[in-house]
Amino acid sequence: MTYLLIIFILAVALAPLSHFVPSKRQRRIARMREYAAVHGMFVEFRDLPGGGDRRGRTPGPSGADIIYYGKRMPPRRGEAVTPGGWVVDQEGWRSLDRRTAVPAVLRELPDTILAATVDGSSCGIYWREAGEEAQVEQIRGVLEAWSADLLS
């Protein structure tokens, strides 16, 4: 009986420490973000361009915020990159201003992507990190191709 009481007291004392152990989702997200950083991308919390989530998704209890994975582009001396934004809805990719053509490379992105933007310093995508490192690699490849197209 004494041993059970000691085990119970130790369990009660150590239970709060379990809150410091990352969950599987937190470890997976950390791996994806590390992979992105090692391969030349940056990750930021950003609001979805155009306001709102076009796919009707809201942040769930797992804290699936909208995250921007971007590729920095070197400064240009000549002609600047024209800023633009594109979102995915039920019909597919479309421009936010409805005048700019959708870059063909965006069609190669995974289905979990919500939007893409380009400005003078970076091009990138918005998503909820619903995937694995393989999808981050696919995103990296698309961003590399897109930034090369923009710089040419």
User: Is residue 57, in this structure, part of any structural domain at all?
Assistant: yes
In which element (H, E) is residue 87 found?
strand 84-89
Whether the full predicted model's pTM is greater than 0.85, yes or no, is: no
Contact 92, 111 (CB under 8 A): no
pLDDT at 91: 84
User: Is residue 10, in this structure, part of any structural domain at all?
Assistant: no
What is the span of the domain harbouring residue 110?
Answer: 23-151
Number of domains the chain is built from:
1
pLDDT at 81: 77
User: Is residue 132, in this structure, part of any structural domain at all?
Assistant: yes
Q: Is the pLDDT of residue 151 over 50?
A: yes
User: Is residue 27, in this structure, part of any structural domain at all?
Assistant: yes
User: Is residue 48, in this structure, part of any structural domain at all?
Assistant: yes
User: Is residue 51, in this structure, part of any structural domain at all?
Assistant: yes
User: Is residue 5, in this structure, part of any structural domain at all?
Assistant: no
* Whole-number average pLDDT of the chain: 84
User: Is residue 94, in this structure, part of any structural domain at all?
Assistant: yes
Q: Dump pLDDT digits (tens) for 69-114.
A: 999 988 777 777 788 899 988 888 988 887 888 888 988 888 889 9
Strand order in the sheet with 41-45: 41-45, 67-72, 122-127, 113-118, 84-89, 92-95
Cα separation, 25 vs 80, in Å, equals: 39
